[in-house]
Amino acid sequence: MKRNLEIKKLFLEHFGQAKTELVFTNAYELLVCVMLSAQCTDKRVNLITPALFKAYPSVQDLAKANLSSLKLLINSCSFYNNKAQNLIKMAQAVCEQFNGEIPLNEQDLKSLAGVGQKTAHVVMIEWCGANCMAVDTHVFRVSHRLNLSKAKTPEETEKDLTKIFKDNLNYLHQAMVLFGRYTCKAKNPLCKECFLNHLCKSKDKKSI
C-alpha cells in the first residue's frame, strides 16, 4: 500500500539508523537493561545501572547475588521485587545452560526468567541488528494511531507491522519508539511538528 510505504520511508529518513537510549557495553548489560525497562523509562534504567553493574559486573556475579542487596539497587524501578528475582534466575540459567554466554536467538532468550518476546526481540535488534519488530507501549500507540494495525495485543500488532514493513524492522522499531516517546506522545502529541501529520487520521490528532 502506497501510504504504508511512505510512512516507512519517512520513518527511516527522519530517524536513520536509530539506536536505543539504554546505556550498555555488552550483551549481558543490554539484557539486564531491557529487563529493567519493562514498564519503566530508559532514563530511570540508566540512573540505576551504573551502581548495579559496579556491584555485578558479569552474569556470573549476578547469578550469585543476594536478593535483598539486588532489590536495594533497583528499588526505584517499577516492579523491582519481581525483576530482582527474575534477574538472578536469568543469570543462573545463563551460567548453567549457556556456559555464561548470553544466548542471542529468540527461543533460548525466551527460555530465561523474565524474558518474553518483546525483550528477546529488543536484545536481538540492538545487539545483532536482527530484522525483527518489538512492540512496546510507544510502538503500539503509534501503530494504531497511524492505522497500521487494529490488533488488540502487542504480539498481533508485531505480526501486522512485520507483514507491512518486511525489512529494516530493527531501525523501524527504534524509530517508532523514539517517535512515540517524543512526538506522538500519549498525552499532548506534538501534531504540529509531526512529519507524518498529512498521513494521520487518528481521533487523537490535534487540529493545527
> Which residues does the annotation place in the binding site for [4Fe-4S] cluster?
184, 191, 194, 200
Name the catalytic one among 54, 64, 136, 150: 136
Examine the residue annotation and report whether 204 is marked as an active-site residue of this protein: no
Write down the catalytic residue from 118, 160, 167, 187: 118
Is 108 known to be catalytic? Answer: no
Q: Are 76 and 114 contacting, i.e. CB atoms less than 8 angstroms apart?
A: no
Binding residues: 184, 191, 194, 200
Of 12, 13, 22, nearest to 168 by C-alpha is: 12
Question: Active-site residues: which are they?
Answer: 118, 136
